[in-house]
Amino acid sequence: MQNKLLLIFLVFFVCACKTKEKEEKTEKQLVEAFTEQYRPQFHFTPEEKWMNDPNGLVYHEGTYHLFFQYYPDDIVWGPMHWGHAISTDMVHWEHKPIALYPDGHGLIFSGSAVVDKENTSGFGKDGKPPLVAIFTYHSMEGEKAGRNDFQTQGIAYSLDNGATWTKYEGNPVIGNEGIRDFRDPKVFWHEGSQSWVLVLVAGDHARFYTSKNLREWEYRSSFGKNQGAHGGVWECPDLFPLFVEGEEEPKWVLLISINPGAPNGGSGTQYFVGEFDGNRFISDQKEPKWLDYGTDNYAGVTYNNVPNDDRIFIGWMSNWDYARDTPTKKWRSAMTLPRRLTLGRHKGEYLLANYPLPQIATLAATELLGSTKISTEGAQTFSIANLNQSQIRLRTASKDFELVFKNDMGETLELTMDSNSNAFLLDRMNSGQVNFQPEFGNKKHYMPIEFLTDGHYEIDIYLDWSSIEVFLDRGLLAMTDQIFPSQPYTALEVHNNDGEEAMELVFVKKMPSIWP
């Protein structure tokens, strides 16, 4: 009897220890979460594992949805799901369970989502409009068998604001007639023709389809075989109207991601400005224009259904050249800051600007440094405890200067404005860990400045643990790059090489963490 009691006690004791161990582990994991080395503090990242493109960006009933390409089992690309997060302010995000899982038709590649307000699809119930997701099915079996028709388009709907999804039993809704790269549908409601419009990419061009019910699609036209950049395959299109600042008429903007073939290597996003009549997109633009000259803003698209027709863009902050190799362990890659797109005419050219939403700037409440003047041909060094969680603004008419970020390890990140070569350059070659892949730290990143304002303009910089986003002239020119310094930068040197124009360091502010 006594032995039995002893045994029961021992079993109980071992179990209690195990539970305690488990609890401690969970607590430890929680403490570590979002404080790991390189974890961005004010950019979206998944809690763990691999993420690429933003998908299904849609606003509905007070919620901004961010779905994304997600592989829950590893920190490298694998069978794709749609991960999910939500936000009410586009600043703070709540991670949600996976929204879409692969099924018999294939993996779930990139796509979009709409609010079907009039229930044209018939998926709505009891007066509740459905959210409808439109995505690419990628059949691994088809690809392995050497077929060309392994990418098709499917749809799914949600009646609980994106929490749970039902795949349509009639999938796929657009089959494939033998085009190898046939993917990434973006759908939107076109007022003029009272139709849904779908744009997808087919290797070296975009294709347009229309529908009355989101289920049956009719091919209308194509664009781009002989226009823009063609150094790689076209991916992740987006099409939307934007009013031109100071003009009455809107223009249509077509975003096309391309990989490889970007100006500084690997993945990048070009855009075309033109007209769209509901069936056909036309643009007389022959040469590509680039949304961002950094190497880490890819597959970006805009939100559907945002109040006031605001165009809000989010990109994947990585590059297929080295996305799989970046030195993070628990998760891989982040999204860019959400940016507002605007269209203007500069020196006769239509140019698309992208600039962080105002609520991002106002997040930074603590000023680390106030307004300071840097004289003509002057230089100053500012010591700041942690620049890798900061917002920096300068104002100047100087087109000859250098900004150098430094840490105690002798690592430097250099930004140079050079009027001789008419360029802005970002040098991350000695910025920290760079050797994980040959393409990452092998050259300076170059951005032409021919369209930059003559006169005073602002330089806005957002530095997070593992990224820098630079905006010149309110986003007329943008550069987004990943960086992996061994320690945060603690000094900023400003060298003004201009003999006539002074510079003002307007402020350095601390960016708070968006994670609880």
Q: Which CB sits closer to ligand FRU, 110 or 139?
A: 110
Q: Which CB sits closer to ligand FRU, 40 or 268?
A: 268
The least CB distance from residue 86 to ligand FRU, in Å, is 21
Q: Which CB sits closer to ligand FRU, 297 or 412?
A: 297
Q: Which CB sits closer to ligand FRU, 60 or 186?
A: 186
Tell me, by CB under 6 A, how many residues bind ligand FRU. Answer: 12
In whole angstroms, give the CA distance from residue 425 to residue 419: 11
The least CB distance from residue 235 to ligand FRU, in Å, is 4
Judged by CB under 6 A, the residue of 80, 449, 463, 472 near ligand FRU is: 80
* Contact set for ligand FRU, span 32-51 (CB under 6 A): none
Judged by CB under 6 A, the residue of 39, 70, 184, 302 near ligand FRU is: 184
The least CB distance from residue 55 to ligand FRU, in Å, is 8
Q: Which CB sits closer to ligand FRU, 183 or 509?
A: 183
Q: Does 52 bind ligand FRU (CB under 6 A)?
A: yes
**For residue 516, how many C-alpha atoms fall within 13 Å in the half-sphere facing its CB?**
5
3-state secondary structure of 242: strand
Concatenating the DSSP letter of every residue in 267-324 gives: -EEEEEEEEE-SS-EE----S-EES--SSS-EEEEE-BS-GGG--EEEEES--TTTTT
Judged by CB under 6 A, the residue of 64, 109, 355, 401 near ligand FRU is: 109
Q: Which CB sits closer to ligand FRU, 34 or 77?
A: 77
Q: Does 388 bind ligand FRU (CB under 6 A)?
A: no
Catalytic residues: 53
The least CB distance from residue 308 to ligand FRU, in Å, is 29
Q: Which CB sits closer to ligand FRU, 41 or 264?
A: 264
Neighbours of 297 (CB within 10 A): 32
Strands 49-60 and 331-332: parallel
DSSP 244: B
Supply 426's token pair: 């970002």
Q: Does 81 bind ligand FRU (CB under 6 A)?
A: no
The least CB distance from residue 85 to ligand FRU, in Å, is 17
Q: x/- contact string, 195-234, with ligand FRU (CB under 6 A)?
A: ----------------------------------------
Supply 264's token pair: 């500084």
Q: Does 176 bind ligand FRU (CB under 6 A)?
A: no
Q: Which CB sits closer to ligand FRU, 68 or 440?
A: 68
In whole angstroms, give the CA distance from residue 36 to residue 30: 11
Are 155 and 171 within 8 A, CB to CB?
yes
The least CB distance from residue 494 to ligand FRU, in Å, is 36
Q: Does 235 bind ligand FRU (CB under 6 A)?
A: yes
Neighbours of 178 (CB within 10 A): 8
The least CB distance from residue 112 to ligand FRU, in Å, is 11
- Single out the residue of 507, 224, 237 nearest to residue 371, CA to CA: 507
* Contact set for ligand FRU, span 366-385 (CB under 6 A): none
Q: Does 116 bind ligand FRU (CB under 6 A)?
A: no
Q: Tokens 């050219």 appear where? A: 349
| N-to-C CA span, the chain | 52
Q: Does 171 bind ligand FRU (CB under 6 A)?
A: no
Q: Does 236 bind ligand FRU (CB under 6 A)?
A: yes
In whole angstroms, give the CA distance from residue 290 to residue 229: 10
Supply 359's token pair: 């609520």
For 164-169, the CB contacts below 8 A with 24+ separation are 165/99, 165/100, 165/133, 166/123, 167/100, 167/103, 168/123, 168/215
Q: Does 314 bind ligand FRU (CB under 6 A)?
A: no
Q: Does 53 bind ligand FRU (CB under 6 A)?
A: yes
Scored b (16 or more CB within 10 A) or e, 31-56 reads: eeebeeebbbbbbbbbeebbbbbbbb
Q: Does 69 bind ligand FRU (CB under 6 A)?
A: yes
In whole angstroms, give the CA distance from residue 417 to residue 461: 14
Q: Does 100 bind ligand FRU (CB under 6 A)?
A: no
Supply 479's token pair: 């550069």
* Contact set for ligand FRU, span 123-152 (CB under 6 A): 136
In whole angstroms, give the CA distance from residue 199 to residue 217: 11
Q: Which CB sits closer to ligand FRU, 235 or 238?
A: 235
Alpha carbon 145 to chain centroid, angstroms:
33
Q: x/- contact string, 290-309, with ligand FRU (CB under 6 A)?
A: ---------x----------
* Contact set for ligand FRU, span 400-459 (CB under 6 A): none
In whole angstroms, give the CA distance from residue 431 to residue 405: 9
H or E element at residue 19: helix 2-32
Q: Does 110 bind ligand FRU (CB under 6 A)?
A: yes
| Site residues for ligand FRU per CB under 6 A | 52-53, 69, 80, 109-110, 136, 183-184, 235-236, 299
